[in-house]
Amino acid sequence: MVSPGKPSPRSAVKPLSNEQVAKLSRLHHLVNPMRNHPTGPRKDNIAEINAQNPKATQRLLDACAAVVRSRCKVKAWGLERVPEDGVFITACTHVTLFDVFIPMASLFYQGRRPRYMAKAEMASWPIIGKWFQLVGMQPVPRRKGEALAIENESIRILTSGRPLTIWPEGTLTRDPKKWPMSLKPGMAYIALETCKKLGRQVPIYPAATWGAASINHWWPWPRKNVVMGFGEAVDYADLIEDMDSWEGEPPKAAVHELTRRVRESLEAIEAEIRGEQPPAEGYWDYRSMKRVPRD
């Protein structure tokens, strides 16, 4: 299935400047996420690591880090928030393919091994598709009628004790200026249904990556700045106060509100990284392919 619309070209946005990175470094402790334990000593989740093809995963991780370092100067903040154990969801922006590799590698280097939802086509890519499956990719068929099966598998992953990484926009953003666009409701449904099954709130961490949209992959030099912000967990305790009384699926109002909170958290982190304000007229809606007012 081909997604409608096309991502805007590199010329639509400016590269992330050295001055802006310096400004961010005064506000946050920026680290290099492409190395082991970038935030300092911590306890690796050995059970997760051993359960996920440890040798193959380490080789892919190191290869991924080498490619990223060759094409950009990457920094991150907030990775100390990554729990050493227990389930959580990471909700990531999807401006470029770097938004897949940088959060994945960052969490792996922090000693966790989340499963992650990715389009099923990636599983059939030569060579690299097999590697992706080895390190925990959960293929997502982007066809009508598949949503329930995808959501149920995601819930199973979380309730089994493994963290999960999701790109809730569902595809590369179609926003002409590359801001986070409308999110699919599946991420919120997965989180709320998992909360009900576990009897507690499951942390959702927003992770926004910016700077890679300006990289020319044929000639990436000089290397561009790329920064990822790993934000504070989104608070939605109020949305699950009455979860014991839910009949069937989580209420649509709760799904909508949690989706809104996550999207606005991603937008706020990206705005801080870019040093810009998002468009005042609203966010990009994937269905209508135009801006709509914020809720």
pTM, whole model, 2 decimals? Answer: 0.94
Report the length, in residues, of the chain: 295
Query: How many Å apart are CA 121 and CA 141, to the nearest integer?
Result: 8
Assess if residue 203 is contained within a domain: yes
Residue type, 159: T
CATH number of the CATH domain containing 275: 3.40.1130
Burial per residue of 264-284, b for 16 or more beta-carbon CB atoms within 10 angstroms, e otherwise:
bbbbbbbbbbbeeebeeeebb
Q: Answer for the pair 162, 48: CB distance below 8 angstroms, yes or no.
A: yes
Q: Answer for the pair 177, 97: CB distance below 8 angstroms, yes or no.
A: no
Q: Answer for the pair 58, 49: CB distance below 8 angstroms, yes or no.
A: no
Helix (H) or strand (E) holding 210: strand 204-210
- What pLDDT, on a 0 to 100 scale, did the predictor assign at position 119? 66
- Neighbouring CB atoms inside 10 A of 19's CB total 9
Query: How many Å apart are CA 15 and CA 69, to the nearest integer?
Result: 17
- 248 sits in the region (left: phi over 0; alpha: psi -120 to 50; else beta) called left
The percent helix, strand, coil of the chain (3-state, each to 5) is: 40, 15, 45
Assess if residue 156 is contained within a domain: yes
Assess if residue 110 is contained within a domain: yes
- Neighbouring CB atoms inside 10 A of 249's CB total 13
- The label of the residue with tokens 């890679």 reads 212
Assess if residue 85 is contained within a domain: yes
Query: Smallest Cα–Cα separation from 240: which of 230, 228, 227, 253?
Result: 253
Assess if residue 11 is contained within a domain: no
- What pLDDT, on a 0 to 100 scale, did the predictor assign at position 122? 63
Query: How many Å apart are CA 108 and CA 130, to the nearest integer?
Result: 18
| Residue range(s) defining the domain that contains residue 39 | 18-292
Counted domains in the chain: 1
- What pLDDT, on a 0 to 100 scale, did the predictor assign at position 189? 96
- What pLDDT, on a 0 to 100 scale, did the predictor assign at position 126? 65
- What pLDDT, on a 0 to 100 scale, did the predictor assign at position 143? 60
Assess if residue 33 is contained within a domain: yes
Residue pLDDT tens, the chain, 295 long: 557 889 999 999 999 999 999 999 999 999 999 999 999 999 999 999 999 889 988 988 998 899 999 999 999 999 999 999 999 999 999 999 899 889 999 999 999 999 987 666 666 766 666 666 677 777 666 665 566 778 888 999 999 999 999 999 989 999 999 999 999 999 999 999 999 999 999 999 999 999 999 998 888 899 999 999 999 999 999 999 999 999 889 999 999 999 999 999 999 999 999 999 999 999 999 999 999 999 8
Assess if residue 212 is contained within a domain: yes
Half-sphere CA count of 212, side-chain side, radius 13 A: 25
Assess if residue 54 is contained within a domain: yes
Query: How many Å apart are CA 78 and CA 207, to the nearest integer?
Result: 9
Q: Answer for the pair 140, 150: CB distance below 8 angstroms, yes or no.
A: yes
- The label of the residue with tokens 């000639």 reads 219
Phi and psi angles of residue 10, each rounded to the nearest 5 degrees, phi first: -60, -30
